Structure 1
Amino acid sequence: MNYNTFVDQVAQRTRASSEQAVELTRATLETLAERLTGGEVLDLAAQLPRPLQVVVKPSPRTEAAERFGAADFVARVALRAGVDEATAKSGARAVFVTLREAITGGEFDDVAMQLPRDYRDLVEPAMAPGATLRRS
């Protein structure tokens, strides 16, 4: 999936403008990269369009995953994207569904496995049967 398609899918799923979809996508992926181990971030980045690879590249200080729950994840996305938490939560869900379409199923499962149980509300929409077939 190319960058424009990725952002368009997030915009459609959130009913947001393209500009807001870009911000939600970047904020979600940057926050996700903080939550994953460095090796997993590299695996994920390798399958993303180039403009998004830059967002999720690990740094030497991020080899270990930061430990924070889903509420903190949403709060970080909201802060980074400059939106309220309800919009951030909706955006994060849309990014996860789009991410599942953009990368191999096995890689998405690897990402999801690194997230604790309280992320279920954010990730499960992407795991639902037919999630990758839905277009809002």
Structure 2
Amino acid sequence: MNYDTFIDQVAQRTRTSSERAVALTRATLETLAERLTGGEVLDLAVQLPKPLQLVLKPSPRTESADRFGGAEFVARVALRAGVDEPAARDGARAVFVTLREAISGGEFDDVAAQLPRDYRELVEPAMAPGATLRRS
């Protein structure tokens, strides 16, 4: 999946502008990169379009995962994207569904396996049957 398609899918799923979709996508991926181990961040990044790979760039400080729960994840996305928490939650869900479309199923499962149970409400929509069907 190319960058424009990824952003368009997030925009459609959140029923928002492309600009807002870019902000939500970047905020979600930056926060996800903090939550995953460095190796998993690299595995994920190589399957994404170049502009999104740059968002996920691991550094020595991201080698080990930062442990925080689902509520903190949403709060960080909201702060980074400049939106309220309900919009951040919806945006993160849309990014996870689009991410599942953009990468191999096995890689998405690896990402989801690193997230604790309280992320279920964010990740489960991407795992539901039919979740990867494109909405128009």
Q: TM-score, normalised by structure 2?
A: 0.99
Q: Percent identity?
A: 85
Match of 1:69 in 2: 69
Match of 2:97 in 1: 97
1:134 offset after TM fit, Å? 4.0
8 Å Cα contact 2:9/2:134 also seen in 1: no
Structure 1: segments with no counterpart, 5+ residues: none
Residue correspondence of structure 1 range 1-136 to structure 2 within 5 A:
1-135=1-135
Which letter maps to 1:85?
E
Structure 2: segments with no counterpart, 5+ residues: none
Which letter maps to 2:120?
R
Q: TM-score, normalised by structure 1?
A: 0.99
- Is 64-73 or 126-135 further displaced after alignment? 126-135
Which letter maps to 1:71?
A
Q: Distance in 2 between matches of 1:80 and 1:120?
A: 21
Q: Distance in 2 between matches of 1:111 and 1:84?
A: 25
| Number of corresponding residues | 136
Q: Distance in 2 between matches of 1:62 and 1:99?
A: 20
8 Å Cα contact 2:36/2:114 also seen in 1: yes
Moved over 4 A (4+): none
Deviations 1:79-128 (A, max 9, x none): 00000000000000000000000000000000000000000000000000
Which letter maps to 2:57?
K
Give the secondary-structure state (helix, strand or coil) at the position aligned to 2:64: coil
8 Å Cα contact 2:33/2:58 also seen in 1: yes
Q: Distance in 1 between matches of 2:10 and 2:84?
A: 17
1:57 offset after TM fit, Å? 1.1
Q: Distance in 2 between matches of 1:78 and 1:91?
A: 9
Give the secondary-structure state (helix, strand or coil) at the position aligned to 1:20: helix
Which letter maps to 1:61?
R
Q: Distance in 2 between matches of 1:99 and 1:17?
A: 18
Q: Distance in 1 between matches of 2:41 and 2:57?
A: 7
